[in-house]
Amino acid sequence: DTGVSQNPRHKITKRGQNVTFRCDPISEHNRLYWYRQTLGQGPEFLTYFQNEAQLEKSRLLSDRFSAERPKGSFSTLEIQRTEQGDSAMYLCASSRTPGSPYEQYFGPGTRLTVT
Amino acid sequence: GQQVMQIPQYQHVQEGEDFTTYCNSSTTLSNIQWYKQRPGGHPVFLIQLVKSGEVKKQKRLTFQFGEAKKNSSLHITATQTTDVGTYFCAGSLNNAGKSTFGDGTTLTVKP
């Protein structure tokens, strides 16, 4: 069990640029979640996949955000035309269903800074 | 939409004192989870509660799920410096896939 990994760990970008983050879940986990966390707040749900199917996307999520999990393994989160308000920690988590779908294992996160 | 609120936001205790954080949901939950996030770290799963009135213990930690499944609490007995961090509850509805996190209670422990 190598845990959930995320790359890059840090990203600094200029406003208006596109960024893409990658998440590799625990290998036997079929659910994958994306969250955003800012200082002093809890993780905010963005979207989640079961295998390759995107089952839910937050209504708060701008159309500039898109996520994929093409083969049901790793996932990417892309933010287009970044804004300063996008600066946050982006967390990925994975879990297994059936079994323990709510026992989520989090990765170390990607810290995004938009200048 | 569903809201999960936690109180207090911060708690400072002397080592050896007890600590309790409370979680309240605006809607009835199907289950609730608790996570701990150390400073600079990521959330780590602690436990899941499913049944009305359920009580679970992990060493010095006691977790409760309210009878109405709208509230929960985490109690730590005789805190230690290793308990420092932010404790989050996360609630799920109707066995849906996602969980809604509260904003956490940050615990600091003075040795």
At A30-83, the pLDDT tens digits run 999 999 999 999 999 999 999 999 999 998 788 999 999 998 899 999 999 999
pLDDT in tens, B73-105: 999 999 999 999 999 999 998 767 789 999 999
Work out the minimum CA distance from B11 to partner chain A, whole angstroms.
14
Task: Look at residue A101 and tell me whether its pLDDT is greater than 90.
Answer: no
Mean pLDDT of chain B: 95
Q: Which residues of B touch A (CB under 8 A)?
A: 1, 4, 31, 33, 41-45, 48, 88, 90, 92, 96-104
Q: What is the mean pLDDT of chain A?
A: 94
Minimum Cα–Cα distance from A36: chain B residue: B101
Q: What is the edge-to-edge ordering of all strands in the sheet holding A75-79? A: A5-7, A19-24, A75-79, A65-68
Our CA-based measurement puts residue A11 at a distance from the nearest CA of chain B, in whole angstroms, of 16
